Structure 1
Amino acid sequence: MARTSPAKFVRQVRGEISRITWATRKDTLTSTITVLIMVVIASLFFFAADSIISILIQWLFGIFSF
Structure 2
Amino acid sequence: MAKTTPGEFIRQVHVEAGKVVWPTGKETWVTAVMVFLLTALLALFFFAVDSGFAAIVQFLLGLLA
State the TM bucket, normalised to the shorter chain: 0.7 to 0.9
Q: Which amino acid aligns with 2:41?
A: I
Partner of 2:62 in structure 1? 62
Rounded Cα–Cα distance in structure 1 between residues aligned with 2:4 and 2:13? 12
Q: What number of residue pairs does the alignment pair up?
A: 65
Partner of 2:19 in structure 1? 19
- Report deviation, 1:8: 1.1
Q: Secondary structure at the match of 1:4?
A: coil
- Report deviation, 1:15: 0.4
Q: Secondary structure at the match of 2:2?
A: coil
TM-score under structure 1 normalisation? 0.87
Gaps of 5+ in 1: none
- Report deviation, 1:60: 0.9
User: Which aligned pairs between 1:1-66 and structure 2 lie closer than 5 A?
Assistant: 1-63=1-63, 65-66=64-65
Percent identity between matched residues is: 37
TM-score under structure 2 normalisation? 0.88
Gaps of 5+ in 2: none
Q: Secondary structure at the match of 1:19?
A: coil
